[in-house]
Structure 1
Amino acid sequence: MTIIKAGTAKRDEAGQDDPLGPYRAELISDTGHLTQFGAFIEELPPGSHSSYAHWHRSEDEMMLVLSGEVVAIENGVETVLTPGDAACWKAGDAVAHTLHNRSDAPVRYIVIGTRAAKDTVTYPNHDRVLHFDRATRERTYTTLAGAPSSGPLKS
């Protein structure tokens, strides 16, 4: 058993220069060396996005708001989420989703998702598909039509 005390998990963060805005994440499952699912607590300051709108072919994903307010955007439909609200995205369902903090205070939420050996992540608004192999850590990108792509996102 691995106990992870508050404030001791591995961290990931981005600054003001990130195109999605700054964020801070506590990587709970990585710190605990879990392999079957990922779990992290993310904090988004006002104005930040969680990700580019995307959906996973092979991985379930869910989030639960702990504090603050965030807008979940699913295929362009917006829903305000507050503490205790959750969103679930089933693997293979083409529901492109992202979160946007439009409030004037930080929002904190936990994200939990399966970790498939291989996954395909579709970014429909950017004409990109990520093909990811967890064992080799290899990432390749194509366009939505399947043509090779030189970069992760269309400018």
Structure 2
Amino acid sequence: MPVHDETTVRRDAGTGACGPYEALLFSDSGGLTQFGAFVEILPPGSASSIAHWHSEEDEMVFVLAGTVTLLEGDTETALTPGKAATFKAGVPVGHRLENRSDAPARYLVIGTRAAQDRVTYPGHDRVLHVTRATGERIWTDPAGQPATPLYDD
């Protein structure tokens, strides 16, 4: 049984389309394949992603420190430590988190890892088709025509 902490876990960090972020990749560090679990750290002014929803994968976030604003459809909700938000696969309502505060925020993200998934980005006319076994990621418009990515793949 591998045991990891912040000093041994694999990390991902960068500045993407939604601002800077850091992720502590606990499930990947342990070689897990059926679900993903990581701690994301968002500095002030950053967002978790572009608003999206998954056709096949459930997601959950649990706030550990700081405050983030959940944007889900037309609704905004402040999430503080101890609060969770859940996103059931196939529910066509886009969601994302934003750090509108003046301090970093930390939250745990847990999600299933479906063999194939479609990630829809409402308002951006983009769908990401993911095949986990091959790592294939294909961007299309909602009609299935090739489209440019919203993120640097």
**Which runs of at least 4 in structure 1 moved beyond 2 Å after TM superposition?**
none
Q: Tell me the secondary structure at the aligned position of residue 123 of structure 2.
A: helix
Whether the 8 Å CA contact 1:141–1:152 is kept in 2: the answer is yes
Unaligned runs of 5+ in 2: none
CA RMSD across the alignment: 1.2
Instruction: Note the C-alpha offset of 1:8.
Output: 1.3
Matched residue, 2:39: 41
2:50 matches 1:52? yes
Instruction: Note the C-alpha offset of 1:96.
Output: 0.5
Instruction: Note the C-alpha offset of 1:7.
Output: 2.4
Matched residue, 1:152: 149
Matched residue, 1:118: 116
Q: Equivalences for 1:6-155 in 2 at 5 Å?
A: 6-15=6-15, 18-149=16-147, 151-153=148-150
Unaligned runs of 5+ in 1: none
Matched residue, 1:4: 4
Whether the 8 Å CA contact 2:6–2:24 is kept in 1: the answer is no
- Opposite residue 4 of structure 1, the aligned amino acid is H
Alignment partners' CA distance in 2, 1:49 and 1:6: 22
Count, aligned residues: 151
- How does the TM-score come out when normalised to structure 2? 0.95
Instruction: Note the C-alpha offset of 1:76.
Output: 2.5
Alignment partners' CA distance in 2, 1:12 and 1:102: 22
Instruction: Note the C-alpha offset of 1:125.
Output: 1.9
- Opposite residue 12 of structure 2, the aligned amino acid is D
Q: Tell me the secondary structure at the aligned position of residue 4 of structure 2.
A: coil
Measured against aligned partners, the alpha-carbon deviations of 1:54-87 in whole angstroms (never above 9, x if no partner) come to: 0000000000000000000001210000000000
Alignment partners' CA distance in 1, 2:106 and 2:88: 22
- How does the TM-score come out when normalised to structure 1? 0.94
Instruction: Note the C-alpha offset of 1:153.
Output: 2.5
Instruction: Note the C-alpha offset of 1:95.
Output: 1.7
Whether the 8 Å CA contact 2:50–2:121 is kept in 1: the answer is yes
Alignment partners' CA distance in 2, 1:117 and 1:9: 25
